[in-house]
């Protein structure tokens, strides 16, 4: 799979669930704050590697990439938080 478009929504959801399952397993034996820090660090390392080894958008600076990743993370975090808040309100 060479691009994001090559992944179906179901495959994407499966990948997300697999990462969450690993984090949940680690949370059984490690403090959740440390698991949170580890998964954030892993995402940053993976994203930095992919950015540094890109073959498109070569003019993009690390500051540009950081701003883009930050905006994307904020949007994803807010969407997930709002979904969880709504689900808890319905319980």
As a three-state string, the secondary structure of the chain is CCCHHHCCHHHHHHHHHHHHHHHHHHHCCCCHHHHHHHHHHHHHHHHHHHHHCCCCCCCCCHHHHHHHHHHHHHHHHHHHHHHHHHHHHCC
Distance of CA 33 to the CA centre of its chain: 16
Q: What is the pLDDT of residue 3?
A: 58
Give me the residue spans of the domains in the chain.
Answer: 1-53, 56-91
Low-confidence ranges of the chain (pLDDT < 70): 1-4
Q: What is the pLDDT of residue 1?
A: 37
Q: What is the pLDDT of residue 4?
A: 58
Q: What is the pLDDT of residue 75?
A: 98
């Amino acid at each position: 799979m060479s691009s994001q478009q090559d992944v179906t929504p179901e495959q994407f959801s499966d990948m997300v669930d697999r990462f969450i399952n690993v984090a949940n397993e680690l949370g059984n034996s490690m403090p959740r704050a440390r698991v949170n820090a580890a998964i954030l660090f892993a995402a940053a390392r993976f994203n930095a590697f992919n950015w540094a080894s890109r073959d498109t958008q070569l003019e993009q600076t690390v500051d540009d990439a950081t701003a883009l990743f930050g905006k994307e993370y904020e949007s994803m975090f807010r969407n997930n938080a709002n979904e969880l808040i709504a689900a808890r309100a319905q319980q």
